[in-house]
Each structure stands twice: as C-alpha cells, then as structure tokens.
Amino acid sequence: MNTASGGGGNAPSQSGGGEVTPGGGAGNAPPPVHTALSPGNSNNNQNGTHANATQSAQPNNNANPFAGKPTYASFSNDIPPAYLTWKKPIPNQTFPPLYKIGVSNISFEWTVDPNVLKVQPANLTVALANPQKQTFTAAIVPGTATSAYWDLAHLPPGSPLMVGYYTVWVYDQRGPKAFPSPGWLMPDSRLVVAMYSTEAYVGRTDSMFCPTCYLGAGVSFRESFVPLLTAFGVALLTSVIMIINILK
C-alpha cells in the first residue's frame, strides 16, 4: 500500500469511505488510494467469498469412501453397520449377469455410504460360492479398494468352475460371517452371477443311437411287407385246403 508523505510523519489513517488519507498536512494531500475495503469492491469480494465457500461445500463424488477412517474403533449401538452398494455388475435375481467360463472377465465395482462407514477395513476379500458350497477366491484387495478383477481365462488348473449360479461374497478381515457391528462394513452376498460353458460336439457311437435308421423307411417298409403278405397268403390258402378236405 502506498503511504502519503505529509507533515508530522503520522501513520495513514483509513476513512470510513474506504479511502486512505494522510494523518496530517491538509495542503498537499495525494489522491485517495482505493483499498480492498472500498465500497466499490466490497460487493465483489463478498460475492467472490460466497462463491468460493459454496464451491468448497460441494461433495466430492470421486472421493474414496473408505479412506481417512480408523482401522479399528467401537461405537454405540445407535450407529448402523455400513452396507455395500454394487455399481458393477448390478444385482438381478431374475436375470443374473452371465459369464462364460474360460473366456469372460468379471469386473467388480462397489461403493459405500461414507457417512455410515466409520471403520476402514484392513482388506477386502471377493469370493464366489457355487451351489455345492465350494468357494473360489477371486481377489484380495486393500481395504480402501472399490473394485476388483477376476480373469476367468486364466483360472488355476486345479480349480475348474462348474456351470451354475454363484453367490458373490465381499467381506473384510473379520470373515464372511462377521457379526454386524456399528460403523463397520457388513459382509455382502446379494450379488449372484451365472456361469456357463460351451462344449464341442461329440458324435454318439452307442447302439441306442441310429441317426440313419429312419432314412428310406418307406422303401424298407415295402420290402419287408411283401414277404409278410406272401407268407400270410400261403397260410390262408393252406388253411382253406385243409378245411375243404375235412368237410369231405
């Protein structure tokens, strides 16, 4: 800020109108200097401050809902447990998401209400259970992760998948049967996916299968019917002759 040079060397004083005037010397007063507190700029500053405050108050939708929380804490029972919300794939009990074994890749994405979740998981496990209750671990990710990936084209040789419906489990370090705790993540098993596979055609060679048995059936029937009719005629003629001889 520029200061005015005047008699007495007194410090500048600020007038009520937002102008800086010298403390002494009325004759050679310099022109007034507008400061940030002048009326001409006060409205703009107030509006700018209000706009910045409004912008900073907007929620960040890209913020990680798991980050910035303690890894262990206890809360009162009036706080509910946190539940997972699936983003991909979307749970559908009528038409479950369909994936081909050995070809498809499954991308899991989820989120959680950051206002309800109070404890950050140490890690998250994504596992799938088939109808026979066999469990396959798809991924183990950090506790702040919001996605996981399972490559069905590179499964371990000793873990073949069966065709059917699989229940997807997501749970923290406490396991899939963890008791509901206030502020902690609740194990989730609402997502169901369907697995299918296609097999190469293999021709049947057993004696009960004959794909050509009915080809030319009309010709076969005529060829077998003529001898049958001939035998029936001979038998009938023989019977008539025998009856005539008996009646004589």
Question: Token pair of 202, please?
Answer: 């293999």
Segments of the chain with pLDDT less than 70: 1-62, 200-222
Unique residue bearing structure tokens 């019917």 = 225
pLDDT given at position 131 = 86
Among 170, 193, 163, residue whose Cα is nearest residue 90: 193
pLDDT given at position 221 = 61
Count of CB atoms within 10 A of residue 174's CB? 14
Total count of residues recorded for the chain:
248
Residue 98 CA to residue 240 CA, distance in Å, equals 75
Residue 21 CA to residue 12 CA, distance in Å, equals 6
pLDDT given at position 141 = 96
Residue 217 CA to residue 212 CA, distance in Å, equals 10
pLDDT given at position 26 = 43
pLDDT given at position 214 = 55
Residue 107 CA to residue 148 CA, distance in Å, equals 6
**Virtual torsion, Cα 134, 138, 141, 146, nearest 10 deg:** -110
pLDDT given at position 153 = 81
In whole angstroms, how far apart are CA 209 and each of 2, 29, 205, 216? 106, 117, 7, 17
pLDDT given at position 152 = 85
Residue 119 CA to residue 180 CA, distance in Å, equals 13
Unique residue bearing structure tokens 């559908």 = 92
pLDDT given at position 203 = 66
pTM of the model: 0.56
Helices and strands counted in the chain (H then E):
2, 11
Q: Answer whether 116's CB lies under 8 Å from 183's CB.
A: yes
pLDDT given at position 20 = 40
